[in-house]
Amino acid sequence: MVLKTIPALQSDYQMQDYEKLVAEFDWKEAEKAFSWYETGKVNIAHEAVDRHAESFRKNKVALYYKDGNRNETYTFGDLKKYSNKAANVLKNCSTLEKGDRIFVFMPRSPELYFALLGALKIGAIVGPLFEAFMEGAVYDRLDDSDAKAIVTTPELVDRIPVDRLPNLETVFVVGDGVTEEGKVISFNKHFEKASKEFEVEWLERESPTLLHYTSGSTGKPKGVLHVQEAMVQQLQTAKWVLDLREEDVFWCTADPGWVTGTAYGIFGPLLAGTTNLVVGGRFSTEAWYGAVEEFGVSVWYSAPTAFRMLMGAGAAAMEGHDLSSLRHILSVGEPLNPEVVRWGMETFNMRIHDTWWMTETGAQMICNFGSMPLKPGSMGKPVPGIEAAIVDDKGNILPPNRMGNLALKKGWPAMMRAIWNNPEKYDSYFLNDEWYVSGDSAYMDEDGYFFFQGRVDDVIMTSGERVGPFEIESKLLEHPAIVEAGVIGKPDPVRGEIIKAFIALQEGVEPTDELKEEIRQFVKKELAGHAAPREIEFKDKLPKTRSGKIMRRVLKAWELDLPTGDLSTMED
């Protein structure tokens, strides 16, 4: 079944003239939205929080927080006050200075946001860490970046190997009754007493802000360094892609441990003065639909893995929930299968808009805008101001419909400025000093829509054909028995590689040989003979990163009996 193009929405007022913007837009235009455009004094926390707190948005809700028995509301005025207090605590109880690395290692909570924004106010470089990291993962990141301080909770503090981190001077612990000894400082004790006034550290556009370690889907996570100027693109895409408006309630489900959770869980929407929802705890269908209803979420940014889980839970899970507040849904992190887009249309009568970008790009790059027709299976077109192309290994631009390296013309505002401690790695991303090469393989059709095919390393060469795993995985998902699928190439003396599919079945479905054959025939008939998996293995679960990405390198390592490499970002 081929899904037809879904027509443009009328509602996307910002982007009605995409072609004109592409021809005329200049990032210099977007800079005018910031106070530093006039003053020259730069700090992203000022632009995201203080500026609104000093405007008509002072009493507007900046943050709703819900987790278990906590249900709290903070205005922009509150956020200014509490991030100032946090800044005072961090500054007064440590030797942290501008440019020093501080990590934030805690579950999603208002305190995480206060600490992160406070750290930015003192000009430190913030490394967000996902709460599920164990000791080895925490050590690697703190050691690699020579961290001076960390903010954590009583539950997580034991995972910080202070003895092995001689340069780690201060461990701030957020919680009640924390005993101060050694490097440990009670965050709450000082927070209560701290002044709510703080003189923000003024910086330059090129001053570093965040050090984000990548998801580790393809190998050891890399420390990607971002700078203040990223805010230009984060705000512009919040307007264009997220389509945020004054009255919206925006929910980005990503944890700040990943780049989506900072760029769009914090900065984009706050820079735009938007009300944000943060929901703590783990994914559950009931909690998620419940949160949309309770807070009247209108714009929702999530990931294919979450949509697939909601899809698997079926219509019954939605019963009794009024989801009519939703008007715009977006996805990131993994290819958005056409099957999920179809489900979105059927379930919400709404298009799910794909957005493609990476930790290294710092902000959205290729997206489906509301104002353009949507081709299911395509991630859309470049954000105006961004030049994307499919290039060969020498940097030559390939014609439409040819699979190759997805590349971006170097120099967009949110582009990473370094890989920490690894200049060779940083340089290796660039070709002829012109193109940033993403490591993803894709093609562009004659209408300028980009189609993701897989990681370059995951592309399968079988009997002389290049096949991207994504297309096969998406086809497999259309089979009613299948919940999730991961496809790899397995070396084969005759065919180069053969296609092997790892499949998780719907609950209650019997994993039989007949079913394998049926699935094989299904792909053969619906996609292509050479794309049908020769080998199929049923699994209860597929190995995934904590941000929900299928780890094909782990499937491959299992299959070929190779070392699995760094597993710090893999979910339990």
CB of 379 to ligand ATP, least distance (A): 5
* Residue among 118 and 335 whose Cβ is closer to ligand ATP: 335
* Residue among 43 and 438 whose Cβ is closer to ligand ATP: 438
The closest of 529, 475, 527, 466 to 501, measured between CA atoms, is 475
Q: Binding to ligand ATP by residue 148, rule CB under 6 A?
A: no
Q: Binding to ligand ATP by residue 440, rule CB under 6 A?
A: yes
Contact flags string 536-565 toward ligand ATP, x per CB under 6 A:
-------------x----------------
DSSP state of 2: P
Residues of this chain, 237-266, that bind ligand ATP according to CB under 6 A: 258
Beta strands in 147-283 (DSSP E): 149-152, 170-173, 184-186, 208-213, 223-227, 249-252, 275-279
The closest of 33, 417, 358 to 221, measured between CA atoms, is 358
Of 88-96, 410-418, 434-442, 490-498, which segment contacts ligand ATP by CB under 6 A? 434-442
The closest of 198, 200, 172, 196 to 186, measured between CA atoms, is 172
CB of 224 to ligand ATP, least distance (A): 8
Letter for the amino acid at 494? V
Of 41-49, 355-363, 499-507, 527-535, which segment contacts ligand ATP by CB under 6 A? 355-363
Residues 6 or more apart from 4 whose CB is under 8 A from it? Answer: none
**SS3 (DSSP) at 233:** helix
Q: Is the separation of the CB atoms in 284 and 529 below 8 Å?
A: no
CB of 561 to ligand ATP, least distance (A): 21
* Cβ atoms within 10 Å of 248's Cβ, excluding its own: 21
Separation CA 304–CA 314 (nearest Å): 15
Separation CA 437–CA 405 (nearest Å): 7
- Cα 449 from chain centre: 21
Question: Which listed residue (330, 365, 379, 416) binds ligand ATP by CB under 6 A?
Answer: 379
Separation CA 391–CA 407 (nearest Å): 7
Per-position DSSP letters for 130-159, written without gaps between them: -TT--HHHHHHHHHHHT--EEEE-TTTGGG
Q: Binding to ligand ATP by residue 455, rule CB under 6 A?
A: yes
* Residue among 148 and 381 whose Cβ is closer to ligand ATP: 381
Of 200-208, 307-315, 353-361, 416-424, which segment contacts ligand ATP by CB under 6 A? 353-361
* Residue among 290 and 448 whose Cβ is closer to ligand ATP: 448
Total residues contacting ligand ATP (rule CB under 6 A)? 25
Question: Which listed residue (264, 356, 429, 449) binds ligand ATP by CB under 6 A?
Answer: 356
Q: Is the separation of the CB atoms in 93 and 185 below 8 Å?
A: yes
Residues of this chain, 196-225, that bind ligand ATP according to CB under 6 A: 214-219, 221
Let me know how long the chain is. 572
Cα–Cα distances in angstroms (integers) from residue 267 to residues 195, 211, 463, 568, in the given order: 24, 15, 47, 26
* Residue among 251 and 470 whose Cβ is closer to ligand ATP: 470
Structure tokens at 253: 């489900």
CB of 36 to ligand ATP, least distance (A): 28
CB of 566 to ligand ATP, least distance (A): 9
* Residue among 212 and 490 whose Cβ is closer to ligand ATP: 212
Separation CA 496–CA 464 (nearest Å): 8
Q: Binding to ligand ATP by residue 228, rule CB under 6 A?
A: no
CB of 227 to ligand ATP, least distance (A): 17
DSSP state of 263: I
CB of 39 to ligand ATP, least distance (A): 33
Contact flags string 305-344 toward ligand ATP, x per CB under 6 A:
---------------------------xxxxx--------
Question: Which listed residue (62, 122, 358, 389) binds ligand ATP by CB under 6 A?
Answer: 358
Residues of this chain, 24-63, that bind ligand ATP according to CB under 6 A: none
* Residue among 221 and 268 whose Cβ is closer to ligand ATP: 221
Separation CA 519–CA 570 (nearest Å): 28
Helix 110-121, helix 76-92: angle, nearest 10: 60
CB of 454 to ligand ATP, least distance (A): 8
Q: Binding to ligand ATP by residue 382, rule CB under 6 A?
A: no
Q: Strand 418-419 vs strand 223-227: parallel, antiparallel, or unpaired?
A: antiparallel
Chain contacts with ligand ATP (rule: CB under 6 A): 214-219, 221, 258, 332-336, 354-356, 358-359, 379, 438-440, 452, 455, 549
